[in-house]
């Protein structure tokens, strides 16, 4: 079982140690006391649940190697649902954004390891979202798979601008899963 100290959590949330202890004492954050000195420990899963319940971003230390989150940015709801279904069945956690603006705001909150990105969307285009991802230090590491019905020239432009992979719509379910698995291999390392 992987656990965190109150100091670890205070550092990750950029709060005072006493604040974390109050969260535990109030029952907002599930923790337990070690025998003897009575120091608090929190299971990583419980801390992640706490962050999600309070709409707090997942710290990079926890997102790390085992991040299986995929943000789907596509203005066609049926396509977004299809991508989500395919990836969830392959063991990924998904969220969807229906346009580039919503996608940009969800990048920080959801902290995905990978984004599937449509190029043609109203308002902010997929190219604009890709440029934002690559030029922002907090998101530059995110893998991007462009899924588009545009021509090969447009797909090549996406690669030139920083996409990690491209697939033409309509795409084969297995091809999508294969690309995502290639870009997000399952890590075997654990938190200390």
**pLDDT digit string (tens) for 31-67?**
998 887 778 899 888 888 898 888 887 776 666 556 7
How high is the pLDDT of residue 192? 37
Say if CB 31 and CB 55 are below 8 A apart: no
Q: Average pLDDT of 108-113? A: 85
Q: Where are the domains of the chain?
A: 3-56, 69-183
- Model confidence at 187, in pLDDT bands (50, 70, 90)? very low
Among 173, 18, 15, 182, smallest CA distance to 83 is for 173
**Given a cut of 50, is residue 188 above it in pLDDT?**
no
What is the CATH class of 69-183? alpha beta
Neighbour tally for 11: CB within 10 Å: 15
User: What is the percentage of the chain residues whose pLDDT exceeds 70?
Assistant: 92
How high is the pLDDT of residue 1? 54
How high is the pLDDT of residue 189? 38
Least confident of 1-15, 77-91, 158-172: 1-15
Fold of 3-56: Multidrug-efflux Transporter Regulator; Chain: A; Domain 2 (1.10.1660)
Among 161, 164, 170, 168, smallest CA distance to 141 is for 164
**Given a cut of 50, is residue 191 above it in pLDDT?**
no
Spatial distance between the Cα atoms of 108 and 110, rounded to a whole number of angstroms: 6
């Amino acid at each position: 079982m992987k656990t965190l100290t109150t100091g670890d959590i205070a550092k990750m949330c950029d709060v005072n140690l006493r604040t974390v202890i109050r969260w535990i004492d109030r029952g907002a954050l599930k923790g337990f006391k070690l025998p003897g000195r009575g120091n608090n420990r929190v299971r990583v899963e419980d801390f992640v649940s706490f962050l999600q319940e309070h709409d707090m971003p997942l710290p990079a230390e926890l997102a790390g190697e085992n991040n299986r989150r995929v943000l789907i940015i596509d203005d066609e709801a049926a396509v977004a649902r299809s991508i989500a279904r395919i990836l969830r069945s392959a063991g990924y956690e998904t969220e969807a954004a229906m346009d580039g603006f919503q996608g940009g705001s969800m990048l920080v909150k959801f902290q995905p390891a990978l984004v599937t990105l449509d190029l043609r969307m109203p308002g902010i285009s997929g190219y604009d979202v890709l440029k934002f991802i690559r030029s922002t230090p907090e998101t530059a590491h995110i893998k991007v798979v462009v899924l588009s019905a545009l021509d090969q020239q447009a797909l090549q432009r996406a690669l030139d601008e920083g996409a990690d992979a491209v697939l033409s719509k309509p795409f084969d379910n297995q091809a999508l899963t294969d690309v995502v698995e290639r870009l997000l291999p399952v890590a075997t390392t654990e938190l200390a």
